[in-house]
Structures are given as structure tokens and as C-alpha cells.
Amino acid sequence: MKSGKFTRLIETVFAAKDDEILCSEFFEKLPRFVDLQIAKENAAELLADVHHHVHQCPECEEIYLALLEAVQSEK
Amino acid sequence: MRTNEEWLRDLRDGGSRQADALEELREKILRTLRAYLAHSAESKEIAEDCAQDALLMIQGKLGTFRGESRFTTWATMVAIRIVLGELRRRRWKEVSLDQSRTGNDLPAWPIEDAKSLDPEKALQQNEAWRILKSIIENELTSRQRFVLVANVFQGMPLDLVAGKLGTNRDNVYKVIHDARKKLRKSLVERGLSQEEILRIFEVRGKDSR
């Protein structure tokens, strides 16, 4: 694997919390998270579990980044 | 611009308002998907198919929209999940991995880049990888090992891992999560912290990138 992926593996191992949301709950909350970010609200603090999942799940992070870019470009 | 209530009302209308709303949504989704695929090696042809699939899914899932965001943000997410799922499936198919090896073989060395040229550092790296590998091979359950190797080391998408195991994405994520917790506990017991491992492998963490 690339060194960035290895780093991510190690970081996610040490960042794992006892209580984390799963991908389906992440998708339920992601649109609000993105709208809060677009509105310059502190989304990471208001939806800390979503913010944490973005860090822990690279595939969900890819969806988050694509959605953020899409919504920003439609503004 | 429609409000959330107007989108829901129009998409359920069944008449010309529904047709107009669907067309507006289709154009919006198509614009998003084309923009996303603009720099992708994959053909833009999948934009049309994915937009169509997204529209069907959005209509089918209208009842699950909770109104906590703008409707269009929610609908865009549905479309992006579909196109990214398709791209991942296509990319995974192109990986010429022997199917029987999926989820089985840990690499001999975890990082593609060369080992350290410093003999002392190279020794530390060998030892750290030996420990990490040993925990994965001997302390994780067979299911945890399969999922971690397939998804993290071999790059098999979560949804496909779930399909192979006859389960869903949430369960696969939970297995990875449990594997991570077990890995952390075992690494800490052996005196290895995140900073120490990243230092040994000469890779930088997010904060210092």
C-alpha cells in the first residue's frame, strides 16, 4: 500500500472510539453536516460523530468530499 | 428555487408538477455527476445511467428524507453514493487479484516505498511490521482478519466485502472497528504508540502533513 494509506491505517487504529456511528447513520446525517459547513457553522463540533466517521472511514470520506464540492459549486 | 416541502410535494404530485420536478432534479444530478467524472479516467457515459438510477432511488426513498438538510443536498448525496459505488466496483474488477487470495495474504512489506536505507531504522521497521503482522495473523478473529486484509490492504470496497460475506456495510465497518480496537490494545501492550510507529516507518501523520 501507499505510505498515505499505511499512515491512515495506523491513525484509524489509534483513533478508534468505543462508541462510533456506522456508515448508515453517517449517511443519514451527512447532508446536514455539509449544509452546516456551507453555512459556515461549526459542523465538526455540532456533529462530532459525523466528523469522526469521516476520519475513520476513507470510503465515506470520499463521498463527503465529493458532496461538499458539488454543493459548494451549486451555490 | 423550491423549498424542501415543495420538492416533496411536487415529486409526489403524479402530474405535470412531478414531471417538471423530476426533470429539474435529473438535470441537477447530471450536472453534478458530469462535473465529478470530468477528471476521471472512467468514461462519462456512466453519468447518464447513474443519474437515472439515482432518480429512481430518490423517488423510492422520499419517505426516508428527514428534512434536516436541504432536499437537494440529500438527493445529491444519493447520486454521489451511486456513482462512487459504480466506480469502485469497476476499479476493483480491474485489479487482477486472484479471487482465492482475497482477504487472505498480508503483504510481505506494508508500504510500497523502499525500506529505510539506514540499517538501524530498517531493523526497527522490520520489527514493527513483524509485530503488527503477528497481531493481525494471530490475535484477530478470522472474520476480522479477512475484512481488514481485503478492504485495507487489498482495496476491496466495503460494499463488495459485505456482499462476499453475505452481510451489509454497517456490519463490515463494525468488524473493522473491532479489529482496530484489538490492534491498538495489542500494540500499546507492546509499547508501540501511533507516533512511534509513524516515526519508525518515516511516514507523517495528518497533523504534520
Distance from CA of A57 to the nearest CA of B (A): 8
- Determine the residue of chain A that is closest to B79 in CA distance: A67
The verdict on A54 touching B (C-beta cutoff 8 Å) is no
Residues B41, B31: contact at Cβ < 8 Å? Answer: no
DSSP of B143-180: HHHHHIIIIIIS---HHHHHHHHTS-HHHHHHHHHHHH
Judge: B198–A70 Cβ closer than 8 Å, yes or no.
no
pTM higher than the cut 0.90? yes
CA–CA distance, B167 with A22 (Å, rounded to integer): 14
Distance from CA of B74 to the nearest CA of A (A): 5
pLDDT band (50, 70, 90) for residue B208: very low
Summarised one tens digit per residue, pLDDT across range B29-83 is 999 999 999 877 766 679 999 999 999 999 999 999 999 999 999 999 999 999 9
**Cβ-based neighbours of B207, under 8 Å, separated by 6 or more:** none
CB < 8 Å to B187, chain A: 13
CA–CA distance, B107 with B48 (Å, rounded to integer): 39
Mean of pLDDT values over A5-31 = 96
Judge: A66–B197 Cβ closer than 8 Å, yes or no.
no
pLDDT given at position B204: 63
pLDDT given at position B14: 85
CA–CA distance, B31 with B79 (Å, rounded to integer): 11
Judge: B69–A71 Cβ closer than 8 Å, yes or no.
no
Where are the alpha helices (H) located in A1-75, listed in sequence order? 3-15, 23-38, 43-46, 48-56, 58-74
What ipTM was estimated for this complex? 0.95
Residue B140 corresponds to which cell in the numbers above?
Answer: 484477530
CA–CA distance, B170 with B158 (Å, rounded to integer): 9
Summarised one tens digit per residue, pLDDT across range B79-133 is 999 999 999 999 898 875 667 778 778 888 888 766 677 888 888 888 999 999 9
Summarised one tens digit per residue, pLDDT across range B124-181 is 888 999 999 999 999 999 999 999 999 999 999 999 999 999 999 999 999 999 999 9
